[in-house]
Structure 1
Amino acid sequence: MRSVKEQSMMDDDLGMYWKKQNNGWFWYEAGVERHALMVEAFSEILDDGKAVYGLKQWLIFNKQTNDWETTRATAQACYALILGGNDWTEDRAWTIKVGSEKFDSSNPALQTEAGTGYLKKRWEGDEIKPQMNKVEVTKEGEAPAWGAVYYQYFETLDKITKAESPLMVRKEVFKVKRTGTGEELVELNDGSKLTVGDRVRIRMEVETDREMEFVHIKDMRSAGMEPVDVLSQVVHSGGLGFYRNTRDAATNFFIDDLRKGAYVLEYDVFVSHKGDFSNGITTIQCMYAPEFTAHSEGIRVTVE
């Protein structure tokens, strides 16, 4: 068991886990069930409270962005979470302060979801004040908790700046030039000029610090460009398998399983019209946990 522990990885946010514990088709590739067994092993054999806490922490945060595939995995994980140590199911006092407004668990007017304690508070445009950009959260006990704060507003696509979370997406646009030695990619900066008939390559660099399921990428496309591949289909590229769906104004990528790491996705378009166009932005979001979202910055392209 000491050797098993030495091979583990410890993260302040994600807890204790092992690098290779992915789910698969074989009986020994049940990642969640195997991890739940590790909780029991570290509790019964080593009586290592710190390791047990870290293992439980990984389980609960894994559930945040992933589906526990089977009823057996769910049962094993739930058993591991209530096994020994601290009782994470007990209600704990908490306080949230947004600007000058304060909310706490003792307020009966706040309707929280039974079991999870989920709470949502919404402010309309006139109610939002500058001091509300400061948020303070306090909670009793050692059980992990999470939440998200976000603004929704309208902005011109060209003025949108890059935003990221544990998910990150970066968009690059290249002009493809044919040379005697093969293809040469020339990066297009904001305001770069193209001509009708040019071939353009869209590159999206995606990075995540944890495993996620059901991830959607939407890449907006300039009105002066048409995709080379117009048929929607399953594609294997950049170390990922995904469904690519081509629409009039954007190309969508649906990824069932996004592992921790960095990936590069590319596709080509042709310049079809003259004019000054916004090339839009690229957005990425985990549909299982929508608080994990990011988008690239917006740029313009000029076609002469």
Structure 2
Amino acid sequence: MIDTLPYLLEYPYGCTEQTLNRFLPAVLTQRTLQKMGVNLADVKKQRTNLDAQQTYRGKYPAHWGEQPGDQTRDRVELPAGFGQGSSTLAKWIQQHIDEDAKLMKGRSKDFNPIFDDVEMNRIIADGVKALTEMQLTDGGWGWFSGYGEHSTPHLTAQVVHGLTVAQQNDVPILPDVIQHGVEWLKGYQTNELTKLREGDKHRENPKYDGRADYRMQADNMDAFVAMVLSEHDANDPAMTDYLYRDRGDLSVYGMSLTGLVLHMQQDAERRDMVIKNVEQFLEQDEENQTAWLRLPEASWWYWYGSDNEAMAVYLKLLVAVRPNDEIASRLVKYLLNNRKHGTYWNSTRDTAMVVESMADYIKATGEDQPDMTVEILIDGEVQKTVKINGENIFSFDNVLLLQGDAVTSGNHKIEVRRTGKGPVYFSAYLTNFTKEDQITAAGLEVKVARKFYRLERDDKQVSVQGDRGQVVSQQVAKYKRIPLEDLRSVTSGDLIEVEMVIDSKNDYEYLLLEDHKPSGFEPDDQRSGYVWEGLRAYRELRDDRVSFFLQDLARGQHSINYRLRAETPGKMSALPATIEGMYSPELVGNSDEFKLRVNDRE
């Protein structure tokens, strides 16, 4: 849980979900440690990275381990107005963090502020303030804020749930912020219930001629909204009935959410039936003591098709109903073993969801008091022996590193032996380096091809109607596109158009398309925001890239373009354009690398 935080805190984009998950997992982790009785001030001086797969050892910069009197900033007591609202907290934080703390923010992806009260307060205040400002006038949230944005049930439910969890963990939230979000969700649910009731009339009488916008069954979004509303005792029982009736048409994720709804409504009989329905997808491996849900592959790119999120919600359901069930511990082990990036899972969203479920699991099972001796053997020889207990859980030496001549060719056997009580989580990591001059295109389910064009002015005279109805000749700015091949030359000052052609084999949602522009080229347009250049996208202009956030991408071929101005002479290389699922990073494709020369204008 701790080692996920640098990734979440330093994630570079600012959509609603990532703004929430930049601080909420840190709050949950810090509160979990505090409830364990861990002295965070002592642990801050030196701690162990509990995931040995990451090369970072969890050490802070030297001056972060100094005594308080020698640090470059002072520790200040919280103000009397703390807890009255995000603006009060943010104002106080801004006054009491000096330039050193500001410089430390974002200096390293391994920076972890969880043991620093001042820094944690700043992160929390920034996150709450940003989410409050991103709330739309109707009470909901969209993917981003600003002109052209609209509230969506998925993002509104995420934020209301997240702020509710934060508030339960003593984070000050303005009451109206959550309440307005709940009211938006209640309005959404009311509308969907009207459609479902209209669908019932069609079930009873196929010839019924009523409203055109009826629905025949409840869906996964209904389950998510119902779960969040149930946390506020605001869910309509009629929606619970529809969800239970239509549970066979829900995803595994949706069924687990429905189970949580039934549990909060103290409907044990129907809850247990839903758990049995979910466990039809449960698989276990007796050899390594893991359990997981094997989800159908039909909709894995949608939010309700995320296997990690589905297992996290299922874990929350198990922890709420039977926390000491063997399946729960096996599910935790499977999730820990399958972090695709060492310390986090696929995305900010599923990582935050897993952290939340882990916090519930630790609280319910008491898995915070280990007492054991662990031996690591390689080819039958003991290479390391470590004693682990509650006092040294964050300071024991947990890394065995082999490098250079110690890594020999052939097969090797690694053994981990435990004496005592407590779980042992371990991983093995192998890395190597290779050189590749020209990066070539790759991708399967989604692909991107990039083309460069030099634009030449080719103004046209067109006939338009004048203010008196007469025909008037008017000059219109036009450009002729001259295709550029790899290794071709352009002149500084030339206007270049970049076209990215996306080939999608399925309907997808929430994708990130990024063009890594060549050095010495600057975007002709200077403003970020929503654009309609072939596809509707939220565009961010960054120093080294141009990012396009695509909320929806239909099956087929699409193109999106933007313009650059060549400025600095020299030989330049544009790294491949990439496209990936924001919440399914295994959905990925990239274009060819492109090289060109910029000549100085004479």
TM-score (norm 1): 0.58
Higher helix share: 2
Q: State the match for 2:279 in structure 1.
A: 89
Rg comparison, structure with higher value: 2
Give secondary structure in 2 for the equivalent of 1:90: helix
- Residue aligning to 1:53: none
Q: How far apart in 2 are the matches of 1:152 and 1:218?
A: 26
- Alpha-carbon distance, 1:201 to partner: 0.3
How do 1:85-164 residues align onto structure 2 when only pairs under 5 Å count?
89-91=279-281, 105-110=285-290, 112=292, 113=311, 115=314, 120=338, 159-164=438-443
Pick from 63, 71, 74 the counterpart of residue 225 of structure 2.
71
In structure 2, give the amino acid aligned to 1:71. V
Match of 2:443, SS state, is coil
Are the structure 2 counterparts of residues 111 and 72 from structure 1 closer, same or farther at C-alpha, using a change threshold of 3 Å? Answer: closer
Match of 2:536 among 238, 241, 251: 241
Shift of 1:281: 1.2
**Measured at CA, do residues 225 and 185 of structure 1 come closer, stay the same or move farther in structure 2, by a change above 3 Å?**
same
Residue 184 of structure 1: aligned partner: 480
Q: CA deviation at 1:174?
A: 0.9
**Is the contact made by 2:282 and 2:291 (CA closer than 8 Å) also made in structure 1?**
no
Of Structure 1 and Structure 2, which has the larger fraction of its residues in strand? Answer: 1
**Which of 187, 211, 214 lines up with 2:507 in the alignment?**
211
Equivalent AA in structure 1 for residue 440 of structure 2: T
CA distance in 1, matches of 2:481, 2:431: 36
Q: Structure 1 109/251 Cα, relative in aligned 2: closer, same or farther at 3 Å?
A: same
The answer on whether the counterparts of 1:158 and 1:300 sit within 8 Å (CA) in structure 2 is no
Q: CA deviation at 1:243?
A: 1.2
Alpha-carbon distance between aligned partners in 2 of 1:215 and 1:109, rounded to the nearest angstrom: 35
Amino acid at match of 2:507: E
Partners of 2:451 and 2:285 in 1: CA distance: 46
**Aligned with 1:271 (options 566, 572, 575):** 566
C-alpha distance 69-252 of structure 1, shift in aligned 2 (>3 A): farther
Q: Secondary structure at the match of 1:223?
A: coil
Write the letter of the residue equivalent to 2:280. Answer: E
* Greater relative contact order structure (CA < 8 Å, 6+ sep): 1
The structure 2 residue matched to 1:282, chosen from 571, 577, 581, is: 577
Is contact 1:214–1:257 with CA below 8 Å preserved after alignment?
yes
Distance in 2 (alpha carbons) for counterparts of 1:297 and 1:190 = 10
Shift of 1:261: 2.9
**Structure 1: gaps of 5 or more residues:** 1-22, 46-58, 94-103, 130-150
Aligned to 1:291: 586
Matched, 1:165 2:355: no
- In the alignment, what sits opposite 1:221? 517
Q: 1:123 to 1:280 in 2, by over 3 A?
A: closer
Alignment partner of 1:159: what SS? coil
How big is the shift at 1:187? Answer: 1.6
Instruction: Tell me the alpha carbon deviations over residues 190-239 of structure 1, each in whole angstroms, 9 at most, x when there is no partner.
Output: 1111111111000011122223222111110111211100111211221x
Cα RMSD, aligned residues only: 4.6
| C-alpha contact 1:158 1:299 (8 A) present in aligned 2 | no
Query: Offset at 1:172?
Result: 0.8
CA distance in 2 between counterparts of 1:252 and 1:188 reads 22
Report the alpha carbon displacement of residue 89 of structure 1 after superposing the two structures with TM.
3.4
Deviation at 1:252, TM superposition (A): 0.8
1:234 is aligned with what amino acid?
A: Y
Aligned to 1:141: none
Tell me, in whole angstroms, the C-alpha distance in 2 between the residues paired with 1:68 and 1:207: 31
CA contact (8 A) 2:517 2:546 kept: yes
Q: How many residues align?
A: 223
Give the Å deviation of 1:262: 2.2
DSSP 3-state at the match of 1:197: coil
**Structure 1 vs Structure 2: percent identity of aligned residues?**
21
Could you tell me how far 1:279 is from its partner in structure 2?
1.2
**1:290 Cα shift?**
1.8
